Amino acid sequence: MLRTVVSLGVALALSACSPQNATTETPTPVAAEQQQTLQSGVIKKNMDLSVDPGEDFFRYVNGKWIDNLKIPADKSSYGSFTILRDESQDHVMEIIRSSSEGDFVDGSDEQKVGDFYRAYMDMDTRNALGMTPLTADIEKIEAIDSYDELARYFAYANRYGYVAPFQIGQEADFKSPENYMIYTWQSGLGLPDREYYFKDDEASQKIRDAYLKHIETMFTLAKFNAPAKSAQMLFDMERDIAELHMKKEQVRNWAANYNKVSVDELDTYMPNFPWALFLKEMQLEQLDSVVFLQSDFMKQIDALIAETSLEDWKVFLKWGLLNSTASQLSQEFDTANFEFYSKTLSGVEEQRPLWRRAVGLTNAHVGEVIGKVYVKKHFPPEAKDRMTEMVNNLLLAYKESIEQLDWMTDDTRKQALDKLSKFTVKIGYPNQWKDYSGLTVDAQDLFGNLKRSADMRYAEMLKKQGGPVWKHEWSMTPQTVNAYYNPSANEIVFPAAILQPPFFDMNAEDAVNYGGIGAVIGHEIGHGFDDSGSTFDGDGVLRNWWTETDLSEFKARTATLVDQYNQFEALPDLFVNGEYTLGENIGDLGGISIALKAYHLSLEGKQAPEIDGFSGDQRVFIGFGQIWATKYRDEALRTQIQTDTHAPAMFRANGAVRNVPEFYQAFDVTKEDELYLAPEKRVKIW
């Protein structure tokens, strides 16, 4: 399903805003008392104090940890997010174990959780079945004898998450966010991004060669005809589709990409494609319009669909089916899938334990059943109360910052403040849980469980269409270590699992928490004002609320940030893509800037305590640096640079703080330091 939520580190927009009144850092008697009763939250054993923070702040905060860490064999990278996700999985496993080992009534929540897990874990049955779970779908593909039947199968593939040349899904209408809309977007590739098919460097060519060999291996395991010849044809076909894809840097431009097409006009855009038949097959024949998010792609894929033989399409669709389900088939398919998608692309040395993969799948399909228990066990009410207070302080800091901006006119400022006042905040867990009563789960039928889960979700989608948007829904479960901003709802959401160290420490003085979860909060609020989120107003409507002068100034400031990040070299001759990561970089910069301002506000005029030898401002920055503690394999770093809207962690830490004036004061950063930027070159947006 299409999701327009923006996850932590995916797309935000804000910039440095220095507080007007600097806080004195000399401890008072009150501060001294706090020093005795509260921890600093600074993980001193991880720091490399031999590094000048102005040279490399990331290594200053995390250097010893990085040097001593050996990335686990089943990980492509390892850091704060990874550690907490493993811990969350451990907690979820305890919940699942109590369900999988018990004897519960059929249809109960416990039975569904336990049997979903058991079905995946039963590798003996999976090995015995081999390709059998795909037999009916392969027969369906082989029976395609016309382009009408091909379109019917595209609809079927969309329903069950198999690969098709374009995808279709439901989300709130960007122009009328109280109602749902059906969107289309480009698809059809087995490699992560279009550029993988065309870049001419040695590493990219090795990946293409490995992918071609992987397709042949999978076709051989599946006993498909002429595996080598079919693999080459398929690769060439994917490359043709990739050539039509919109470049990733343009995909986030919702304002430019929103193209609403009435059902009556679909034939004008795609004269060869039987839209009426396709929509009927998807049970969407009552639609009056759809939105093409990449309209040029949809126009061009129409000709490619018609010009490609049905026999070639059958190979493409069988690959889409096999590739989408390989990790749920027998051990040999699962292993072959791992060898390319994890080992080749990300450098992972061995598979995650089977139980962790089973937990991941169970979470994906019955996650809120697990979430209800997780919250009771691992999310105390006082954590939500303290988090709510921090969010309120961040919103207040944003308000003051917007009111004080010297580059924004009053007309735009009024709109920005209106949007800020309308933010919805969700913390911990949903007020209304998903209903899984219609889902049947069988411990002996993994593929049946997956299809029935897809059917349940699809029925829910059809039920929503035509009605008001379900504002109570969450796009992440409580046990997810992440956060997101949803522009069409103008909401920021913080699942329970992220509210733990190093992001949030109930036993630490507030400074490090403002640098950690405070910067995350600021980051998510900032999504509403970044290069993408700023195209939505306070009611979630996609519209331009900027004056021409202010929009021009905003773009000029963000262009400077793009240039800064383009200079970061992750590997020899591999640089961060400043344009593609712009939203995240704006968010990180705004997050730490506003978090620092909010920390100052939280002191209510009192002096910040000095703890463990660090001032309040220093601990805010160190808290920010700690959340980005991450070490990468080279393959994973290359993949992240090419496919992810997040810059690698070390650049997120260093790239943000060098634009914040208080960083220079806190750590005595001078012109001789590597991170130094002249005042006129530091980016300030919000």
- pLDDT computed for residue 17 by the predictor: 26
In CATH terms, the fold of domain 6-19+26-90+380-428+478-681 is Collagenase (Catalytic Domain) (3.40.390)
Domains 6-19+26-90+380-428+478-681 and 128-351 alike in fold: no
Please indicate whether residue 466 or residue 128 has the higher confidence score (pLDDT): 128
Strands 259-262 and 176-186: unpaired
Residue 664 pLDDT greater than 90, yes or no = yes
Each residue's pLDDT tens digit, 355-391: 999 999 999 999 999 999 999 999 999 999 999 999 9
Q: Which CATH number fits domain 128-351: 1.10.1380.10, 1.10.3720.10, 3.90.180.10, 3.30.420.270?
A: 1.10.1380.10
- pLDDT computed for residue 304 by the predictor: 98
Report d(CA 639, CA 383) in Å as an integer. 36
Each residue's pLDDT tens digit, 302-340: 999 999 999 999 999 999 999 999 999 999 999 999 999
Burial class (CB in 10 A: 0-12, 13-18, 19+), 124: exposed
Question: DSSP states of 607-659 as a string?
Answer: PPPPBTTB-HHHHHHHHHHHHT-EEE-HHHHHHHHHH-SSPPHHHHHHHHHTT
Report d(CA 163, CA 152) in Å as an integer. 14
- pLDDT computed for residue 176 by the predictor: 97
Residue 4 pLDDT greater than 50, yes or no = no
Q: Where are the beta strands (DSSP E) in 117-175?
A: 166-173
- pLDDT computed for residue 100 by the predictor: 82
From residue 561, how far is each of 568, 579, 583 by CA, in Å? 12, 9, 10
- pLDDT computed for residue 168 by the predictor: 96
Position 418, amino acid: D
- pLDDT computed for residue 16 by the predictor: 22
User: Would you say 554 and 685 are in contact if contact means Cβ atoms under 8 Å apart?
Assistant: yes
Non-local CB neighbours of 554 within 8 Å, separated by 6+ positions: 534, 546, 685
Strand (E) or helix (H) holding 486: strand 484-486
- pLDDT computed for residue 387 by the predictor: 92
Strands 289-292 and 259-262: antiparallel
Each residue's pLDDT tens digit, 442-458: 999 999 999 999 999 99
Each residue's pLDDT tens digit, 628-663: 999 999 999 999 999 999 999 999 999 999 999 999
Residue 7 pLDDT greater than 90, yes or no = no
Tokens of 143: 């029976």
The three-state (H, E, C) secondary structure of 272-327, written as one string: CCCHHHHHHHCCCCCCCEEEECCHHHHHHHHHHHHHCCHHHHHHHHHHHHHHHHHH
Report d(CA 5, CA 313) in Å as an integer. 33
Instruction: State the DSSP code for 546.
Output: S
Residue 549 pLDDT greater than 90, yes or no = yes
> CA torsion sign, 380 to 385 to 389 to 395?
positive
Domain ranges of the chain: 6-19+26-90+380-428+478-681, 128-351
Neighbours of 542 (CB within 10 A): 17
Strands 630-632 and 77-79: antiparallel
- pLDDT computed for residue 102 by the predictor: 80
- pLDDT computed for residue 37 by the predictor: 64
Q: In the block, which residue shows the tokens 């220093």?
A: 618
- pLDDT computed for residue 103 by the predictor: 84
Strands 6-7 and 484-486: antiparallel
Q: What does pLDDT average to over the chain?
A: 93
CA of residue 378 relative to chain centroid, distance: 23
pTM of the model: 0.92
pLDDT (average), residues 488-510: 95
Q: Binning pLDDT at 50, 70 and 90, where does residue 603 land? A: very high
